């Protein structure tokens, strides 16, 4: 059991397998899965296996897994041949809805879609 997860969090439940998700990749300290409401096809979320609402609350040993995993997802998705946003929101004023840190990888299949 991971004592850094909490009961009442949708992404902690996804990490524990209590809510189903489409896994893309994972490490001991991070998990990557498809966004349930994708902005574009292949929209992936990368989250630490540590419950924290904000980026600055996540310990370094969890954060160090996040960017290499995001990079692996981008390469596996063929995004080295395309364009995408890598994005992370902190707080409702910054458009954060789920209060468990997550990095978005959002493919931009054509330049007409604009930035979110
Ligand atoms: P935020 O606005 O907090 O940065 O983004 C939260 C993201 O989590 C949204 O893109 C939303 O579609 C996604 N999301 C919310 N609930 C679930 C869920 O239960 N499963 C998955 N796979 N994604 C979710
Ligand atoms: Zn959580």
4 located within any domain = no
* Total-model pTM: 0.94
1 located within any domain = no
pLDDT averaged per 10 residues, the chain (length 116): 96 98 98 98 98 98 98 95 96 98 94 56
67 located within any domain = yes
Which ligand 1 atom lies nearest to the CA of residue 102? Answer: 4
22 located within any domain = yes
Cα pseudo-dihedral 73, 80, 61, 93, rounded to 10: -90
- Ligand 1 pocket, CB under 6 A: 10, 19, 21, 33-37, 45, 89, 95-98
Q: What is the CATH number of the domain that holds 57?
A: 3.30.428.10
Task: Give this complex's ipTM.
Answer: 0.99
The DSSP annotation for the chain comes to --TTS-SS-HHHHHHHTSS---EEEE-SSEEEEE-SS-SSTT-EEEEESS--SSGGGS-HHHHHHHHHHHHHHHHHTTGGGS-EEEE---SGGGT--SSS--EEEEE-SSTTS---
Q: How many domains does the chain have?
A: 1
- Give the domain extent around 14: 10-83+90-107
């Amino acid at each position: 059991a991971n004592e850094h997860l909490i009961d009442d969090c949708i992404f902690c439940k996804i990490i524990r397998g209590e809510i189903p998700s489409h896994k893309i990749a994972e490490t001991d300290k991070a998990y990557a899965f498809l966004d349930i409401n994708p902005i574009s096809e292949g929209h992936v979320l990368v989250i630490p296996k540590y419950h924290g609402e904000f980026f600055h609350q996540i310990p370094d040993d969890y954060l160090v897994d996040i960017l290499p995993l995001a990079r692996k997802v981008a390469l596996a998705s063929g995004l080295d041949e395309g364009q995408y946003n890598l994005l992370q929101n902190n707080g409702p004023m910054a458009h954060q809805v789920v209060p468990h840190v997550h990095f978005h990888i959002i493919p931009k299949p054509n330049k007409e879609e604009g930035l979110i």
